[in-house]
Structure 1
């Protein structure tokens, strides 16, 4: 009788070890960080993002923003965001980087929380499509369209060769004295961009 109990215990241990081995080996081939029981592989929920013209250039979604103070604060913060984004954009962007920035700019214009501002900016984008071939062209384009908006609002226009002095992105250290550098590039390296207006 004791021998039969030993065989039963041995069989339980063997089956448990086998099941444990199967369980552990099922996770062995998965990428690090995907072993959580709630993990769902990306191929099971990934959806293709279709950024067609209708989505990118659809009508502005927000109503008119009546509060002038809020409108000015939103505008200042938005220009800071856009200029800093251009300053951080790669010098030699990949095709995906350029496509992503163009899409972002068009969606930014569409979803901007001031409806009349968004509509105007969409018209500016029609006339001056985003230039995203490099950091320098993106920064120059952003400065140019900022000046188009400033001209419409009867505000002072920027000297685009000095845009980096106004919008400090914290991008670089000045090698000569170790102080924080300003802007997109050194002033001597900035190449002004001449934009072609879209016909029509």
Structure 2
């Protein structure tokens, strides 16, 4: 009788120990999976926020901007930003860098604070897609598109074949000598145009454009013909 009771006690004890052991094993097996899921939260979030192609071509997001003074100031500041970016863009960008600049331009067009201006600019992008294969092509494209806007606003046009008076980016010369003034001899080298400066004088709007065209480094421009659709 006592022996039977001892066997039952041992059986129950072994069962309890086995149950606890299995519980601990399952608990520690699940911990790495939980850590993995936790560690992937950031990655999943980042993937969820990848810019889709449709985001680059959607309609303007911002509403109408009625204040003409603010609109003009915004335009001058935006063009200064654009031209400075083009002047600083790599001469030989990687495919990723070229794609990044084009995406930036297209998203800028959607998010521009002036809704009606953004819609006009997006139409220009459809007619003259961004050219981002090099610094020179980006600068030439930026100048040409700026002139398209100036035509619509009946403002003075920039001389895109002579960008020596381009927007000052405030850049220092790098170790390879990029940004140094181009030699006046040779094709494609750009010199400062004093005549263009004088053409910009007269009205407050022209003076504002002139303000951004001082002390800039000449660019070596490889012209790419801008044709509708490419």
Distance 2:218 2:100 in 1: 20
Match of residue 42 from structure 2: 45
Segments of 4+ moved more than 6 angstroms: none
Structure 2 unpaired stretches of 5+: 1-37, 174-179, 183-213
CA shift for structure 1 position 93: 0.4
Match of residue 134 from structure 1: 134
CA shift for structure 1 position 62: 0.9
Match of residue 93 from structure 1: 93
CA shift for structure 1 position 195: 1.4
Distance 1:64 1:101 in 2: 26
RMSD: 2.4
When Rg is computed on C-alpha atoms for both structures, the one with the higher figure is 2
1:1-200 equivalences in 2 (<5 Å): 44-46=41-43, 47-48=46-47, 49-173=49-173, 174=180, 182-183=216-217, 185=219, 189-198=220-229
Name the TM-score, length of structure 1 as normaliser. 0.69
Structure 1 unpaired stretches of 5+: 1-39
Q: 1:133 to 1:184 in 2, by over 3 A?
A: farther
Q: Aligned to 1:198, what secondary structure does the other structure show? A: coil
Q: 1:184 to 1:167 in 2, by over 3 A?
A: same
C-alpha distance after superposition, 1:63-113 (max 9, x if no partner): 111111100000000000000000000000011101110100000000000
Decide whether the 8 Å contact of 1:92 with 1:134 is kept in 2: yes
Q: Aligned to 2:157, what secondary structure does the other structure show? A: coil
Distance 2:158 2:74 in 1: 19
